[in-house]
Amino acid sequence: MNRVIKVLKPVGSGRKGIDRGRALVAGGAGFLGSHLCERLLADGYEVIALDNFHTGKRYNLAGIARDAAFTCVKHDVVDTLPMDLAVDEIYNLACPASPPHYQADPIHTFKTSVLGSINLLELARRHNAKIFQASTSEVYGDPLVHPQPEGYFGNVNTHGPRACYDEGKRSAETLFFDYSRTYGIDVRVARIFNTYGPRMQPDDGRVVSNFIVQALRGDDITVYGSGTQTRSFCYVDDLIEGFVRLMQAPAAPNHPVNLGNPGEFTIMELAELVLDYTNSRSRIVHRPLPVDDPRQRKPDISFARHHLGWEPRIALSEGLAHTTAYFEALLGGRQPIAPRSGRQAVRAAVMS
Ligand code: NAD
Ligand code: UDP
């Protein structure tokens, strides 16, 4: 059932310094969504997070829940939107991102990407709002071109267990650019490569959170397959900066834009780094490689570098240290997300 957690307020009510308009973040209680909501509040937006809390958590929003410019609405984007809100910007991050989560109910995952995108695109159309889509490096499938530039069309299995996510996101890209061509909507599509950081769930199932949590608990580190497959890991703060730059770019690129860290690591290298950073005595064990697991992945970010002036700044070592500190607090029963002390404080932190 849909439930409005806080009664929606008129734009800017009870809050000084809101001057950027109203942004809707679908998937706002998730890992990336909660960081994005904080950033948008700090930048002067009124923010509405829309989430079905499938993989997102209320405690991700603990730092901003009391902010007068923030509202959270429980809703599944597959269903007709619960309100016809005048919004200036829409960010569509709603979709489980971890393979075990998106494969648990593949039909709903596919509907989330397709019907969710249509519902949000229709909202954008009604209000002439700019709209952002969180697409993914998974659109390249098991890539035959390395590193992957945006012009590469990919190598995706259309009927395997990852297809509900990969093909759902590919369809969403199609919808975004068709809405742009048909109705003149301003769309911004980011292809996100593996991103990690605080607020991933301990049971998320993705590799960075799995390895850190296993290492901190002294459990075996589960490397799937030989561990020679590669990924390129981007720290969340770098990615959010990329989102904002893509959304604020004066002209909308007429294609998706890769956002990720080009530093490429094998999964074995990651396991060893995590063991070092956590000082853990966990053992590395091997488990079967999931079906269709991509063998290599590394973004070509030339477009983002040249046109958005963006590139990641946070090295894997630094990002792992922040993420490990977060999980240490969480697993130790401490509240890892402190409430923000006020808008100006948040703003100052972002601008410094
Ligand atoms: P996440 O699972 O933490 O966040 C997804 C959020 O969407 C959660 O809060 C979840 O409850 C919500 N959600 C899921 N289905 C929904 C639905 N039908 N209606 C409303 N809300 C729904 O994952 P994340 O890593 O924060 O990913 C956010 C977005 O970025 C996703 O769209 C994902 O596909 C995309 N992405 C992330 C990465 C990454 O490495 N983190 C990489 C590529 C793409
Ligand atoms: N992986 C692993 N152990 C784990 C979780 C994942 O070896 O406990 C591997 C997985 O098989 C893949 C890589 O790490 O090769 C990245 O997996 P993740 O689920 O984080 O992201 P994706 O496969 O979607 O890139």
Residue 232 Cα, ligand 1 centroid: separation in angstroms?
19
User: Does 277 qualify as catalytic in the annotation?
Assistant: no
CB 234 within 8 A of CB 259: yes
Which ligand sits closest to the CA of 229? Answer: 2
Place of tokens 């390395």: 146
| Ligand 1 binding site (Cβ under 6 Å of any ligand atom) | 26-27, 29-33, 51-56, 76-78, 93-97, 112, 116, 134, 136, 192, 194-195
Tens-level pLDDT at each residue, the chain (352 residues): 334 444 345 454 445 566 889 999 999 999 999 999 999 999 999 999 999 999 999 999 999 999 999 999 999 999 999 877 899 999 999 999 999 999 999 999 999 999 999 999 999 999 999 999 999 999 999 999 999 999 999 999 999 999 999 999 999 999 999 999 999 999 999 999 999 999 999 999 999 999 999 999 999 999 999 999 999 999 999 999 999 999 999 999 999 999 999 999 999 999 999 999 999 999 999 999 999 999 999 999 999 999 999 999 999 999 999 999 999 999 998 877 766 544 433 332 222 1
Residue nearest to atom 34 of ligand 1 (CA): 97
Please give the sequence-ordered ranges of beta strands (E in DSSP) within 200-342, or none if there are none.
Answer: 221-224, 230-232, 234-235, 257-259, 264-266, 284-287
Q: What is the pLDDT of residue 199?
A: 97
- Predicted TM-score (pTM) of this structure: 0.94
* Two structure tokens written together for 188: 């911004």
231 lines ligand 2 (CB under 6 A): yes
Residue nearest to atom 21 of ligand 1 (CA): 51
Task: Write b or e for each residue in 155-194: b if 16 or more Cβ atoms lie within 10 A of its Cβ, otherwise e.
Answer: ebeeebebbbbbbbbbebbebbbebbeeeebebbbbbbbb
What the chain holds in terms of domains, given with CATH numbers, is 3-198+234-261+297-315 (3.40.50.720)
Q: Torsions phi, psi of 203, nearest 5? A: -100, 20
* Two structure tokens written together for 236: 């969340």
Residue 95 Cα, ligand 1 centroid: separation in angstroms?
4
Which ligand sits closest to the CA of 35? Answer: 1
Q: What is the pLDDT of residue 336?
A: 78
* Two structure tokens written together for 76: 């599944």
Catalytic residue among 45, 140, 165, 326: 165
Angstrom distance (rounded) from CA 217 to CA 202:
11
Which ligand sits closest to the CA of 51? Answer: 1
